[in-house]
Structure 1
Amino acid sequence: MKAEILDHANLMQAAEFIAEMNTLPESHIGYLGTSQNEIFQSLEEMNRDAESAAFIIREGEALAGFLGADADLDKGTAELWGPFVQENELMGLLWEKALHYFEGKMHTYLLFSETSNQAAAEFASKNGFRLQSAQTYMELKAHSCNGLRKVSLLPIQRHGEFIHLHDTVFPHTYYSGKEIIERMNADHKVYTFDDADGLNGYLYTEYNREEKEGSIEFIGVNPSKRKKGIGRKLLEMAIHDLFMNSGAKSIKLCVGTANEKALSIYKKAGFTVERSLNFYKLDIRE
């Protein structure tokens, strides 16, 4: 058997293969959803992206392995979607194909897998990935929000303050303050809390209209304004807007497992733990 590049004609077969495996904790990867339709959409986007690529292994007409690399050539990084395999020995073939494909273009690979996914943990260890952190996925189902809440969104005159605050609180993360502003639209919102001192806190969400699912990506509070309930107020604002105004059926988020204070705030707001995942990183320059 050998690894080959996934083409458009095989996207649905790949989506079915991944969905079946990603519902199981022992083979779950965090960058992808669990519904076949959602995964198919993600694969379509990857297929249209000239920078990214996916690789498969066939056994007869059936798929036996899949590995996707959602790449950003400007940053030299790629998120790994997989490996998903029927037999663990196939991981090496997929990984070798990906490394050869991106040789000279990529220096950092990221892997996000369920803590009970021992195959992914062994793959990470064998290939030099380092465990960066443990993350907890949480979800809040739609419910009635009592009372009207004023929704305060980031105005253009606060863009500079926002960029400074976000890049200070999250100096090395997947979206910079400037990138978040570039992503802002009717479904990608930055909620704010400010006073006479300026911008004291913000919360950034993204909403998937087709799935009717919101996601909380970042909550940042000015260090000098912490322990004043700003994060809780921003959370209440975003929950109200997503459920009551956008029509979300659920809201998801990811938080560091060691961040007990944040976990407590989210649990009090009604979020429940869905998954626990490990975040691995490989930098081939090291």
Structure 2
Amino acid sequence: MKADILDHANLMQASEFIAGMNSLPQCHIGYLGTSKNDIFHSLEEMNNDSESAAFIVWKDGAIAGFLGVDADLNKGTAELWGPFVQRYEFMRLLWEKALHYFEGNLHSYFLFADTANLTAAEFAARNGFKLQSAQTCMELKGNPSNDLRDVSLLPPHCHSEFIHLHDTVFPHTYYTGKEIIGRMNDDHKVYSSGEADGLNGYLYAEYNREEKEGSIEFIGVDPNKRMKGIGRNLLEMAIHDLFMNSGAKSIKLCVETTNEKALSIYKKAGFKVERSLNFYKLDIRE
């Protein structure tokens, strides 16, 4: 029994295998969707990314284990898509294959798994991952309001101010302010709130046209201007734009479970709790 590298010929088979598991809380990994088509497109992108790789274990002619490594070699970090396994011993095969493949190129690995996913929890414990936070993932379906709203997008002259604010509020996260600026397009938007004295706050959201799904990635407010409803106004602006202008059918977000104030704001906006996940990190330099 050994782990092989996933190739293009196995993408559909792997998508079906993952879709069958990721829809179950006890197997769910937060970096992937639950529909076969969504997963197929994610695997296709990974397969075309020279920095990343995925590994599979076969048993009796069928896939019995999968682990994807969505890597950023420039940062030396990677998100783990899995492990999705039918038997515990397959975890070791997949992980050893991944570590050997990326040896010397990656120093940090991230795992985002449903709290009910005991397989992922055991994998994390066995391999030295440390629990970083508990996250509550929420979803808003349908547009709760048809009220007209002005949509304010981040103007070019505020780019440097935005970068400073984002990197201050979220100093160690998956996108820097500069990276978000580089991602901005019709489906990746930064909504802004500002006055004469500068930028008060922002919200960064992404839209998946194929799935008709929006995602709220970051909401940042100037620490000196909080408690003034800026975050809520930005949220309402993004919800309106995603539903009314982009055509979203649903919007998702994740927030730290301990952030009761944010949870309250999202619930008042109509978001419902979808699932709870644990975020783990392994730093092999430690």
Structure 1 length-normalised TM: 0.99
What residue is the counterpart of 2:11 in the other structure?
11
The AA in structure 2 aligned to 1:238 is A
What residue is the counterpart of 2:142 in the other structure?
142
1:91 aligns with 2:129: no
Q: Which is further off, 12-21 or 137-146?
A: 137-146
CA distance in 1, matches of 2:144, 2:124: 43
What residue is the counterpart of 2:221 in the other structure?
221
- The 5 Å alignment of 1:1-286 reads 1-286=1-286
Task: Kindly state the Cα deviation for residue 127 of structure 1 after the two structures are TM-superposed.
Answer: 0.4
Q: Secondary structure at the match of 1:124?
A: helix
CA distance in 2, matches of 1:249, 1:29: 22
CA distance in 2, matches of 1:113, 1:120: 7
Task: Kindly state the Cα deviation for residue 144 of structure 1 after the two structures are TM-superposed.
Answer: 4.6
Q: CA RMSD in A?
A: 0.6
CA distance in 2, matches of 1:168, 1:90: 41
| Aligned partners of 2:143 and 2:240 also within 8 Å | no
CA distance in 1, matches of 2:280, 2:239: 30
Q: Can you list the C-alpha shifts for 1:143-193, whole angstroms capped at 9, x where unaligned?
A: 252321100000000101101110110011000000000000001000001
Q: Can you list the C-alpha shifts for 1:226-271, whole angstroms capped at 9, x where unaligned?
A: 0000000000000000001111000000100010000000000000
| Percent of residue pairs identical | 79
Q: Can you list the C-alpha shifts for 1:50-96, whole angstroms capped at 9, x where unaligned?
A: 00000000012111100000000000011000000111111001000
The AA in structure 2 aligned to 1:207 is Y
The AA in structure 2 aligned to 1:260 is E
Q: Which runs of 5+ in 2 are unaligned?
A: none
Structure 2 length-normalised TM: 0.99
The AA in structure 2 aligned to 1:234 is L
CA distance in 2, matches of 1:181, 1:21: 35
Q: Can you list the C-alpha shifts for 1:29-63, whole angstroms capped at 9, x where unaligned?
A: 00000000000000000000000000000012111
The AA in structure 2 aligned to 1:230 is I
| Aligned partners of 1:188 and 1:205 also within 8 Å | yes
| Aligned partners of 1:145 and 1:244 also within 8 Å | no
Q: Which runs of 5+ in 1 are unaligned?
A: none
Q: Can you list the C-alpha shifts for 1:183-216, whole angstroms capped at 9, x where unaligned?
A: 0000100000111221000000000011100000
Q: Secondary structure at the match of 1:167?
A: helix
The AA in structure 1 aligned to 2:249 is K
> Runs (4+) of structure 1 moved beyond 3 Å?
none
The AA in structure 2 aligned to 1:166 is H
Q: Can you list the C-alpha shifts for 1:13-34, whole angstroms capped at 9, x where unaligned?
A: 0000000000000010000000
CA distance in 1, matches of 2:136, 2:125: 21
Q: Secondary structure at the match of 2:210?
A: coil
Number of positions where the alignment pairs a residue of Structure 1 with one of Structure 2: 286
